[in-house]
Amino acid sequence: MTDPQKSLPRRSNKAPLSLRLRNTLKALGLGLLLGSTPIAATADSEGIRLPELGDSTSGLVSPQREKELGQMWLRIFRSQVKTSSDALLQQYVEKTVKGLAEYSPLEDKNIDVVVVNNETMNAFAVPGGIMGIHTGLFLFAKNEDQFASVVAHELGHLSQRHYARSLEAQRNNTLPTLAGMLGALVLAATAGGEAGLAAITATQAAALDSQLRFSRKNEQEADRVGIETLARSGRDPDAAGEMFEQMLKATRYYRRPPEFLLTHPVTEKRIADAKLRSQRMEDVEPSDSRDYHMMRARIRLATEATPQQAVKRFQAELNGIHDNEDAARYGLALAQIAAGRPDSALDTLQPLLDKEPSKAAFVLARADIDLVRQDYSGATQRLQQALDRNPGDHALVMGLANAHFKAGNYLAAERMLAKYSRVRKKDPAVWYLLAETHGLAGDIVGVHEARAEYYILIGVFDKALQHLRHGIRMTKDDYQTNAILKQRLKDVIKMQEKAKEL
């Protein structure tokens, strides 16, 4: 599927990343300050500033206010960071986070999940129910329970409202801000992306990283809540200690520790405490999710320099593997598809299809083989049948819409996505593909409306307003659509004004 992050540039590519990040943080009132100078959230005349969650007079911020700030934070984060448009991966992460949240003490269990395309091992949670997962976490966690232990830990921070509580405890000190968190997490999510990032000094990065650090007490509490959440969900609580051990090893064998470790320091005592706490839980038989390893295969394919290298890597694993054979076979089939070898891919994939012909991941891979062969009818029929069996499956919906798009069935894709955009209103990938299909189906007003929604979700309000104004001019004779667009214009103007006030 077309990647909206690649296909629709949000800023000029001429400026190096370090300069773009400096400008963005300046607009947010962050200014990359040196040394231990506090990072303040001050506004300039043109930029957007995210506020502190509280101050010496306001007390704790309300959960609803956190939600509003979290949504604004997410929009701006998306405007700066390359996020994943892999619908199958997104669906897996959302399902995992939601499943764990059901067993956590969180009052509001509606979590917005953003998957960041970055090989560094990191995860984060932002006030207002935002969970971020770097794809590198999959490469680092050896099994699903270890992966889940990190998610559960972050849910622990959210459930205990550590961000807001820290404001009450630190009224006389530098208070953490959402703006500071944004700067630190943008740095983490773009690390290694461009050599220009080296222009940001270690002291500047450290100043931003400090915005994410919790107290030792907060970390202990998140560990406790996270391990309890793991156990209640039926997962192995020992996985938390195992993951901490791997993190500690990373400080010894890696040039730079994982980003997660920089903001959640791990010690031998913390590992021992986690192990002791898990020993008090009921014994759980460790399990190893095949789906998790299949997601790892998708990410590993993306990290290889070429599809041909990925083919060699997965072929070697399949030849010598004794665990996770299905995941290795699946990864090899995907690599062969990417390498333009559909016949080999089908031979590799067929044993999986024979065992589970209705599994969405296998059906999608089989449809991709059809698409490489330009058998568009076969791909769309196959995906439609799968979707009929699994209505509302996100990966299948996006897969079928993309297959219609590639087949030139723009009206079919348009109908699907227009309906789905009402279900999945906060997904930029849905709105982006809908805008593309509107254009090719000849609905220019629809293009402007969908692109406006896309730009709203990634925090680029100026472009959203431009598209809405174009749409308004084109619908003077269509009272209903014109009124809808005018109201949306007012909504976006208010969003922009609120952002500038922050």
Q: Distance between CA 428 and CA 413 in Å, rounded? A: 16
* Mean pLDDT within 49-77: 65
Instruction: pLDDT band for 178, please (50, 70, 90 cuts).
Output: low
Residue 160 has pLDDT above 90, yes or no: no
**106/54: higher pLDDT:** 106
Determine the pLDDT at residue 73: 86
Q: Which of 31-45, 59-73, 154-168, 185-199 has the highest mean pLDDT?
A: 59-73
Catalytic member of 154, 259, 273, 393? 154
Percent of the chain with pLDDT over 70: 75
Question: Taking the model in full, what pTM does it have?
Answer: 0.83
According to DSSP, the residues that pair with 130 across neighbouring strands are 112, 126
> In the structure, what pLDDT confidence band is assigned to residue 222 with cuts at 50, 70 and 90?
confident
Both tokens of 428, joined, read 């930029």
For range 69-86, the mean pLDDT: 90
83 contacts 4 by C-beta, under 8 angstroms = no
In this prediction, residue 443 carries a pLDDT of: 97
Looking at residue 69, its pLDDT comes to 82
- 190 φ, ψ (degrees, to nearest 5): -115, 0
Q: Does residue 16 carry a pLDDT above 50?
A: no
Residue-wise pLDDT tens digits, 109-132 = 899 999 999 988 889 888 889 999
Q: Are 9 and 82 in contact (CB under 8 A)?
A: no
183 or 275, higher pLDDT: 275
* C-alpha separations of 305 from 12, 45, 97, 336 in Å: 26, 44, 30, 14
d(CA 481, CA 99): 39
pLDDT reported for residue 370:
98
Q: How far apart are CA 106 and CA 479, in angstroms?
A: 44
Tell whether 245 is in a known binding site: no
Q: At 148, is the pLDDT very low, low, confident or very high (cuts 50, 70, 90)?
A: very high
Nearest alpha-carbon partner for 28 in 493, 459, 462, 494 = 459
Instruction: Give the tens place of pLDDT for each residue, 342-384.
Output: 999 999 999 999 999 999 999 999 999 999 999 999 999 999 9
Mean pLDDT value across residues 319-340: 93
> Catalytic residue at 154?
yes
Is 497 known to sit in a ligand binding site? no
Q: What is the mean pLDDT of residues 256-263?
A: 67
Does residue 175 surpass a pLDDT of 50?
no
Contact 117, 165 (CB under 8 A): no
Beta bridge partners of 116: 83, 134
pLDDT bin (cut points 50, 70, 90) of residue 193 is very low
User: Mean pLDDT throughout 257-270?
Assistant: 72
pLDDT of residue 29: 39
3-state secondary structure of 133: strand
Are 270 and 179 in contact by the 8 Å Cβ rule? The answer is: no
- Which residue did the predictor score with more confidence, 82 or 221? 82
User: Does position 168 have pLDDT exceeding 80, yes or no?
Assistant: no
Please indicate whether residue 427 is annotated as part of the active site.
no
Indicate if the pLDDT at residue 333 is higher than 70: yes
For the sheet with 123-126, list strands across it. Answer: 112-116, 130-134, 123-126
pLDDT given at position 203: 39
Angle subtended by helix axes 410-423 and 428-441, to nearest 10: 150
Q: CA–CA separation, 341 vs 335, rounded Å?
A: 9
- Is the per-residue pLDDT at 291 higher than 90? yes
Q: Any binding-site annotation on 436?
A: no
CA atoms within 13 A of residue 461's CA, in its CB half-sphere: 19
The catalytic position among 86, 112, 144, 223 is 223
pLDDT in tens, 264-287: 777 788 888 888 888 888 877 767
Question: What is the tens place of the pLDDT at every residue in 401-422?
Answer: 999 999 999 999 999 999 999 9
Residues 476-502 have a mean pLDDT of 89
Across 7-27, average pLDDT: 45
User: Pairing relation of β-strands 112-116 and 130-134?
Assistant: parallel
1: pLDDT strictly greater than 50: no
Least confident among 62-76, 254-268, 353-367: 254-268
